[in-house]
Structures are given as C-alpha cells and as structure tokens.
Amino acid sequence: MRLVLLGPPGAGKGTQAVVLSNNLHIPHISTGDIFREAKESGSELGKKLAEYMEQGVLVPDDIVNRIVIERLSKDDIKEKGFILDGYPRTRQQAEVLDNALEGLELRLDMVIYMKTSKKTILMRLTGRRICKRCGHIYHIKNIPPKKEGICDCCNGELYQREDDKEQTVLKRLEVYQEQTQELIDYYKQKRLLKTVSGDLEVRQLYDVIYEFFGKKGLL
C-alpha cells in the first residue's frame, strides 16, 4: 500500500503511521523523524535542520525532496509500499513526489487527510513529552508516566520537543495553513483524498482508516 498522511501538526499522523506500519508491515517514512535523527547525530546538515525546526518553519524543499527520493528508491518500497508522514508539505513537494513515483512506476493509493481542531492540536502538542532514551511518547494529561518526568519503560528522562512549546506550535500551524492546506485540493482533484477526524481517539481513528482500506480493496 502506498499512502500519504496529511494534516496539521498534532493531528496524530505519527501515531497512526506507527500503528499502521507495525500492523500492515509497510515502511513508515517520517521526514520529521529523519530530521530529528540528523539533528541528534550532530552533523552539519543536522545543525542546519535544527535551526528550521526550532523556529517552526519548513526545511527548504530541495533538502527534503532529496532525502525522500533517496528513501523511496530503496528496494523495500517497491515490494511493500510506504506510509509517508509529514511529506509532502508544499505543492512543489507533492509534484516532486508524483514525478518520483512515476519514475519508479508506482502510484499513490490514498491520501488520508486528518482534519483536526485547533483546540485538540494545542492540547496534544504542548502536553507531549518524549523519553530521551527510548523515544516513548507520553502526554502530561492523557498518557502520563507513573512517575513525573521519568519513562515507565526505561527510566529515561522525559523532555519536551523545542517545537512543541506554545509559541512554536502556533507558528507551525500558521505555516501549515499557508503552505500545506492547499494540498487538500491538490489531492481532492486527483480523487485520492479521504477525510477523517484527527480529533478522534487513536483506536477509533485507526478503525475508520482501516475501514477505508477495506472498502478500497487495499487489504
């Protein structure tokens, strides 16, 4: 299956992508995760990426496109498909993706748009905490760790992503509205778009998405 998850930051794209990827054995490609790994590595590219991310603005298209195309060219993609999470985010990226897929003789099966209210987004992102050691994700109200600030799984220290602080979240939402929202029409015109509510609980949303796959004969 070849899938794009579209929606504002905080819609739960990453959460759904991980569950879908594990259950259906489809590679998960998250540009945000790739960039955070590069940042952690301390490389020159990582340092440059961190500057964009910490301001809540988009990384330039040429850098993002190069990284995604490289990943899509690997052997597992032809065989197993992919779940793109956080890419494309601009019309230029969407066009580059179309061309790259054409070159690989592949096409998208579905684009899932996770429409989400601002209230949910702010609540989810500003309350999100991540384990420094194992990457497990918590929420201070919805999924709190047993001991404040400490990971239940590995005792690692929990931290808040720099770009999950309220001012940066507001900036990310503004950027989303300016640059990513137009992709909804782009994919609607291509008759690939399915809209779901990103306000739903993880399990409920998963069930809705799974039903779409069944109806489209993708399972």
Q: Least separation, in Å, of the C-beta of 118 and ligand AMP?
A: 16
Q: Which of 120, 136, 172 is nearest to 9 (CA)?
A: 172
Query: Toward ligand AMP, which CB reaches closer, 9 or 12?
Result: 9
- From CA 29, how far away is CA 18, in angstroms rounded? 10
Query: Toward ligand AMP, which CB reaches closer, 54 or 218?
Result: 54
Alpha-carbon torsion, ordered 161, 43, 90, 58, to 10 deg:
50
Query: Toward ligand AMP, which CB reaches closer, 14 or 145?
Result: 14
Is 107 catalytic? The answer is: no
**What residues make contact with ligand AMP under the rule CB under 6 A?**
9, 31-32, 35, 52-53, 56, 58-59, 64, 86-87, 89, 93, 163, 172
Q: Least separation, in Å, of the C-beta of 88 and ligand AMP?
A: 6
Q: Which of 68, 76, 1 is nearest to 33 (CA)?
A: 68
Helices (H) and strands (E) in the chain, counts: 10, 8
Q: Least separation, in Å, of the C-beta of 155 and ligand AMP?
A: 25
Is 161 catalytic? The answer is: yes
Which amino acid makes up residue 162?
E
- From CA 208, how far away is CA 206, in angstroms rounded? 5
Tell me the residue number closest to ligand AMP, measured at CB: 32
Is 91 catalytic? The answer is: no
- The one catalytic residue in 13, 36, 39, 129 is 13
- The one catalytic residue in 36, 39, 89, 129 is 89
Task: State the catalytic residues.
Answer: 13, 89, 128, 161, 172
